[in-house]
Amino acid sequence: MNAIKIAAIALIIAGGLGLAYGGFNYTKESQQANLGPLELTVNDRQWVGIPVWAGLAAIAIGALLLAVPRKG
């Protein structure tokens, strides 16, 4: 399996996951205060939304890469 097919399959999977979940979240830890041995931190939960058009575009580009024949 060559690199183009692997990239095409990865795009299709990523696009499908983007459509299914709509985004992902992560936790960002920030240091608020440091008072001697006492350290106060805040965990902020961030959400990153993936637009529907981006998921569809990834699936379309992946399918196009699989469908177009390559000259070797």
Q: 26-57: per-residue pLDDT in tens? A: 998 887 888 888 888 888 999 999 999 999 99
Any domain includes 52: yes
User: What is the H or E stretch that residue 38 is in?
Assistant: strand 38-49
Q: What is the pLDDT of residue 1?
A: 74
32: in domain: no
> Is residue 34 in some structural domain?
no
Q: Does 36 map to a domain?
A: no
How confident is the model at residue 70, as a pLDDT? 77
Number of domains in the chain: 1
List residues bridging with 4 in a β-sheet.
none
Domain assignment present for residue 56? The answer is: yes
Separation CA 54–CA 39 (nearest Å):
41
pLDDT number for residue 72? 60
pLDDT tens-digit series, residues 6-29: 999 999 999 999 999 999 999 988
Across the strands, what pairs with 45? 27
pTM of the model: 0.72
Is residue 45 in some structural domain?
Answer: yes
Range of the domain at 53: 3-27+41-67
For the chain, give the number of residues.
72
Nearest in space to 10 (alpha carbons), one of 51, 1, 41, 42: 1
